[in-house]
Structure 1
Amino acid sequence: MWTSFAALALFAHSTAAQGNMLRFACSQLVVDRVDPLVNPGMIYTPHLHQIVGGNSFSITMDPTNHDLPAKSTCTSCSFKEDLSNYWTAVMFFKHKNGTYKRVPQVGNGGPQGKLVNKGGLDVYYIPSGKVTAFKKGFRMLAGNAAETNPSKVAKGNICHRCWTSPNEDQFVGSAPCTGTDTVDIPADPKCKMIRQTIIFPTCWDGKNLDSPDHKSHVAYGQGSGANGGGACPSTHPVKLPQIMYELMWNVTTFADKSLWPTDGSSPFVYSMNVGGPAAHGDYVFGWKDNSLQLAMDKNCNLNRDCPAAGLHASQPAEYNACTVPQQAPEEVDGWLKALPLGDKAVKA
């Protein structure tokens, strides 16, 4: 128990040192084989994503004419003013017979309290001193969907935690991407859940809203982890709020090792058919007006109304109800004969 309290204190201290932060739930808008950032205009993209946020999400989303706040009529995130889109790859369990099943997700507990999600993920905006909110049309990517070498991935930015508690509300470990967290996806029957963390760069060149690789216009500052980001390099001098995704993959029903592959391969892979080093997240900014800048300036906190910035936190029934149909229709639930790669996925 003392270890748990110490872990909570450590994380609370590391974030409190940066001032207040936004931490809120985003339920699943859709699970779909589209990617308007990397593969704009394409359906049945190379791998499957889970998408959250504003319901104007589409296969193109040209930043010159796609105004997310204006085009969206609802958001699957709890702040009504946030019509941004956030997405990640999908985790699958690989059965020894060669079939696959999407790993279910749950909301996240932690030192700041439980968040209610219907699938999806939790989003953090962590400031460090005075920060400049993202501009209209801004977008970026964290991680590399093709990476297979964990030594080439900074564990302080992309990591996984073996969550040994059967309840997401019972906090396990310490601050994100520290301690025994790993770049690889844990493969241990003791894991009841696997918490995935993706931390985005916090430094911007101040000029480009995007770049050809969706990364070069931003950079990580000094240090790593969920601390709001350290000092920025001269090439990217503008300090941004630190965005962090947290996802809770519930692997409880897959703990029986007799179901695992017998060839020694991991029972858990992302939708690219690759493990933890390929974890990645996509972000397209879509907050209304200057609400995010005000939220950072006025020290808005966690998942609560913040009148000083005009933020309104909705109830789960409202944001859970915001969904869109697949634009690349295919099976994504139940046991699948193969991962959704290339041809449409079909039931086993």
Structure 2
Amino acid sequence: MQWTSLAALALLAQHAAAQFNMLRFACSQLVVDRVDPLVNPGMTYTPHLHQIVGGDSFNVTMEPVEHDLAGQSTCTSCSFAQDLSNYWTAVMFFRSNNGSYHRVPQIGNGGPQGQLINDGGLAIYYIPSGQTTAFAPGFRMLIGDAANTDASKVDQANICHRCWTSPSESQFVGGAPCTGSDTAEIPADPSCYMIRQTIIFPACWDGVNLDSPDHQSHVAYGQGSGATGGGACPSSHPVKLPQLMYEIMWDVSQFRDQSMWPTDGSPPFVYSMDLGGSAAHGDYLFGWEGDTLQRAMDNGCNLNNDCPAAGLTAQQPAQYNACKIPQQAPEPVDGWIKQLPLGDGPANQELM
């Protein structure tokens, strides 16, 4: 199978063909909400806004022992019906020169591997490398630092942004994820029709802890870098996991006119923390039904196709796009808004 959407191993090996399977599928937005049950459990109007995808049992607490994502969800906004996990990231906003903000929409990924149809949301990848052990029920983790203001502290091999100079997401731009001209910071270039954000999670686990106080120490990166399935694991984290990767296609085409951009030198694109790419991050709560993810890895299930050997069924876009929940921290987040949704209560979002 030619690795086309990622174009990773092919380009790294002077366009040699890469022959392996991986899951690649769409997840539409479940909700855009100011909650974060991993970092701020039980809190509404958390410090910043997230876009959340996955199972509809998502709530502000998500206690790991009591909350069975697969058992308590009635639908998922991801294309595989058996994936009731939750995935979330910060939200990108455009900042206008009049001080107002507009949430940047997301579109589905394209490429020769096939169009992924999303109602917002992102693309999810599970990339195996040799024998992998699927995440256990209750497993959770995050990558990145929502308070980081120093781009030099970002592991750019695993969190990056790409200026997508093609007006179509189906025309591939650049090489392997987080290589070449990809940057830790959000590009500020009117030639960008889209900005592709990539978030690559660690693929090595300590084999004991389903979480850790910082939600990161129980996992580690293996040798090597990039979206290759993860290299050999260190002795401290010996269990090889599927490599989880998010891709978000932020559609900035309606904001390319520089006459709209701030005139004070501030960046036109920021995440919902009012910070740039240095603060990009992603969160994950595992919630696949039974052993379906393990069977998918063992049986070489590929892309977003049905895989009877693992019991995987791909829903039609109308099904997963319809899976929505209401905001648990209600406030306007769409259209032109007066200020970013920040602080400990709903923002005053009168239209400018």
Q: CA RMSD of the aligned region, Å?
A: 1.8
| 1:74 alignment partner AA | C
Partner of 1:64: 65
1:160 and 1:181 in contact (8 A); partners too:
yes
Give the C-alpha shift of residue 8 in structure 1: 7.8
Does the C-alpha gap of structure 1 residues 11 and 307 become closer, same or farther in structure 2, counting only changes over 3 Å?
Answer: farther
Does the C-alpha gap of structure 1 residues 341 and 300 become closer, same or farther in structure 2, counting only changes over 3 Å?
Answer: same
Comparing 199-208 with 8-17, greater Cα deviation is found at: 8-17
Any idea what SS the aligned residue of 1:309 has? Answer: coil
Partner of 1:347: 350
Give the C-alpha shift of residue 214 in structure 1: 0.2
1:53 and 1:84 in contact (8 A); partners too:
yes
| 2:211 alignment partner AA | D
1:290 aligns with 2:268: no
1:10 aligns with 2:25: no
CA distance in 2, matches of 1:325, 1:12: 43
Partner of 1:222: 223
1:27 and 1:120 in contact (8 A); partners too:
yes
**Unmatched 5+ stretches in structure 1:** none
Q: Report matched runs for 1:1-348 at 5 Å.
A: 10=10, 17=18, 19-342=20-343, 343-345=345-347, 346-348=349-351
**Unmatched 5+ stretches in structure 2:** none
Any idea what SS the aligned residue of 2:29 has? Answer: coil
CA distance in 2, matches of 1:155, 1:310: 36
The ranges of structure 1 where at least 4 consecutive aligned residues each deviate by more than 3 angstroms after the TM superposition are 4-9, 11-18
1:19 and 1:128 in contact (8 A); partners too:
no
Comparing 140-149 with 110-119, greater Cα deviation is found at: 110-119
CA distance in 1, matches of 2:11, 2:310: 26
Does the C-alpha gap of structure 1 residues 74 and 7 become closer, same or farther in structure 2, counting only changes over 3 Å?
Answer: closer
CA distance in 1, matches of 2:5, 2:282: 30
Does the C-alpha gap of structure 1 residues 5 and 332 become closer, same or farther in structure 2, counting only changes over 3 Å?
Answer: closer
CA distance in 1, matches of 2:5, 2:79: 28
CA distance in 2, matches of 1:231, 1:326: 41
Comparing 320-329 with 9-18, greater Cα deviation is found at: 9-18
Does the C-alpha gap of structure 1 residues 344 and 257 become closer, same or farther in structure 2, counting only changes over 3 Å?
Answer: same
CA distance in 2, matches of 1:59, 1:7: 37
Does the C-alpha gap of structure 1 residues 7 and 23 become closer, same or farther in structure 2, counting only changes over 3 Å?
Answer: closer
Give the C-alpha shift of residue 282 in structure 1: 0.2
CA distance in 2, matches of 1:7, 1:241: 19
CA distance in 2, matches of 1:227, 1:67: 30
1:141 and 1:283 in contact (8 A); partners too:
yes
Does the C-alpha gap of structure 1 residues 153 and 328 become closer, same or farther in structure 2, counting only changes over 3 Å?
Answer: same
| 1:193 alignment partner AA | M
| 1:278 alignment partner AA | A
1:8 and 1:111 in contact (8 A); partners too:
no
CA distance in 1, matches of 2:350, 2:243: 39
CA distance in 1, matches of 2:125, 2:9: 18
1:18 and 1:129 in contact (8 A); partners too:
no
Any idea what SS the aligned residue of 1:319 has? Answer: helix
Any idea what SS the aligned residue of 2:51 has? Answer: strand
Percent of residue pairs bearing the same amino acid type? 73
Give the C-alpha shift of residue 110 in structure 1: 2.5
CA distance in 1, matches of 2:326, 2:52: 11
1:28 and 1:323 in contact (8 A); partners too:
yes
CA distance in 2, matches of 1:285, 1:42: 21
Any idea what SS the aligned residue of 1:146 has? Answer: coil
Give the C-alpha shift of residue 11 in structure 1: 5.5
CA distance in 1, matches of 2:85, 2:38: 13
2:77 and 2:321 in contact (8 A); partners too:
yes
Does the C-alpha gap of structure 1 residues 275 and 304 become closer, same or farther in structure 2, counting only changes over 3 Å?
Answer: same
Give the C-alpha shift of residue 347 in structure 1: 2.9
| 1:32 alignment partner AA | D
How many residues are aligned here?
345
CA distance in 1, matches of 2:7, 2:118: 24
